[in-house]
Amino acid sequence: MSKSSLPKLQFLLLATIFIWIKTYIVYKTSFDIKIESWMQEFILFINPLSFLLLVLGLSLFMKEKRRNIFIIVASFLTSGILFANVVFYRFFNDFITIPVLLQTKNMADLGSSFTELFKFSDLLLFADVVILLAIFFLKPSFIKVQSVTKKERRYYYLIAMAVFFFNLGLAEAERPQLLTRTFDREMLIKNIGTYNYHLYDIALQSKSSAQRALADSSSFVDIENYLNANQKKPNEELFNIANGKNIIVVSLESTQSFVINETVNGQEITPYLNDFIEESYYFDNFYHQTAQGKTSDSEFLLDNSLYPLGRGAVFFTHGSNEFTATPEIIKDYGYYSSVLHANNKSFWNRDVMYDSLGYDYFFDLASYDVTEENSVGWGLKDKEFFEQSVDLMKTQPQPFYSKLITLTNHFPFELDEEDKMIDELTTRSRTLNRYIPTVRYQDEAFKAFIEKLKAEGLYEDSILVVYGDHYGISENHNVAMGEFLGKEITSFESTQLQKVPLIIHIPGVTDKDPEVFSKVSGQIDLKPTILHMLGISTKNDVHFGSDLFSEQKLSFTVLRDGSFITEDYVYTKNTCYDKATGLEIEESKCEPYKEKAAQELDYSDQIVYGDLLRFYNGTSYKQVDTEVKE
């Protein structure tokens, strides 16, 4: 593009600069966006530019008289988007999304509070529009309106696209697989910008809406037949054992089973969990089944007994779906439900999803006393989290179903020196080395949690379900894992490392008669297990899991990537392994299970993408006091 072209673009470039700088100022003054490096600051600064160049550049395809009018209208609309986010953020500490707009309760709350939220200084967000209008009407000599050639438009859009891919490249380098691995709205806006984020949000919603629109009630017939054919009778002794008791579910962040009963330099990594297992029901062949949604996927599995999506997170992409989740079911039996998690409520779209799941209350970051002194890494330390959570649980009506989500044992596994109770490893993986002390700290925090439950009188009236949410050490660290475990980490071993601990503790029962259950199982089995312990029949419930205590339960579980594990075989990466030896065997051994694994994933996807549970009228939950009635 030549110098002679610039005068033709003065009005366009002036509008672009106005909105660009204004957006950056809003980022710094109206949003609490955490910046951790100069690169993140630079990305935040440039991220509005590509959108503005591309959208305002559409004016170059218009007649001279209409070009500046389009630029003014576009400036007004983008200012309106910015204004709406600023006002919305003041109330919800969050950014506007399409699912949130569909939450009428949220929008009603915002509307009723608008007079309190609005500040006259917000009008400054439209100051550039006023300036552009003044220029448009006064027509100063330095602003020229001339026709633009095709060559000039072409060069302009080459530059605009270059800026876009430069921004996206930096963002991907700073946060790999940004658009598929993270659904934290703050992270997206920090990297791709407010305006691009809203386009991304619209694209996701449009895709979901199209799939949902094509679905009808007939889509559920085959799925219902499959689920009915796979019903398993619950264990008669344990059915209804938790009736009237509180259910406390603890999600142990990034905790894998390999740390259980493992030592470093003669010191146990999880001494308290090891002892706790000795007075509990422990499942030593229990697998996480999460995908890109990580912790949110494990929550989805827990409460719905449906598989997460292979790409993206259900919490984010289908947060407004109809579900038949555990919190909604147990509400009819007098249970109060809550989630306790000292993190931003918008992370993983939890504020929207928890409403869809039927939770009564979400104790988020605002419910906790969080300071620099009691925080590390991702936020509130686990010891303080557990201590404050017990106080919060005491305020709830009983019986309650409460899910606690820990934070400290989260990548990159940071820990203050005073909290380190075990040495780091000395492998070539800094991540694995640091993982061990944070797991040890989490173990100590859980010990303090149990002690406080006892001191506050909640322990005896509560059943605890404690499980690892997903892996902490990825396959990228297999060499280091091999050093630590003393064996080569093959694809077979890597699949075995997807085991996470599951402990079910029933005071007065498991401490007298603990047991280890070795049937292959997964997080998808948690919902029917919990409901049966509460004495609630799942005969007509939509779920793919089986009661972990059922004698009829198959020793079989499916991972989200299509891998599966049976009593005798492991199938992963298109290879069948003998489970006892870890050696490759003929694929025909695994063939009978491949269809079942694929079918379950496909049926579950159909339910989520089509929002099929909105058509389901056959659900009936029946609580039985003393006997199983299936």
Q: Does the annotation count 371 as an active-site position?
A: no
Amino acid sitting at position 327: P
pTM to 2 decimals?
0.71
The tokens describing 579, both together, are 């489970």
The string of pLDDT tens digits covering residues 394-443 is 999 999 999 999 999 988 888 999 999 999 999 988 889 999 999 999 99
- CA–CA separation, 374 and 395 (whole Å): 23
Angle of helix 38-46 relative to helix 150-174, nearest 10 degrees?
A: 150
- CA–CA separation, 630 and 625 (whole Å): 13
CA 563 to chain centroid, in Å, comes to 22
Quote the Cα angle for 116-118-121, to 5°: 135
* Pair 316, 292: CB distance under 8 Å: no
Neighbours of 272 (CB within 10 A): 19
CB half-sphere exposure, 419, CA atoms < 13 A: 26
Cα dihedral angle (441, 446, 448, 453), rounded to 10 degrees? 170
Q: Is the pLDDT of residue 105 over 50?
A: no
All domains in the chain, ordered by first residue: 3-211 (no CATH), 224-615 (3.40.720.10)
Q: Is the pLDDT of residue 450 over 90?
A: yes
Neighbours of 565 (CB within 10 A): 27
Considering 182, 295, 510, 557, which one is annotated as catalytic?
295
pLDDT of residue 620: 38
When pLDDT is averaged across residues 335-348 and rounded to a whole number, the result is: 91
Nearest C-alpha neighbor of 473 from the set 256, 312, 286:
256
Residue 111: pLDDT band with limits 50, 70, 90: very low
The string of pLDDT tens digits covering residues 143-163 is 666 677 788 888 888 998 999
Nearest C-alpha neighbor of 348 from the set 380, 401, 391, 308:
308
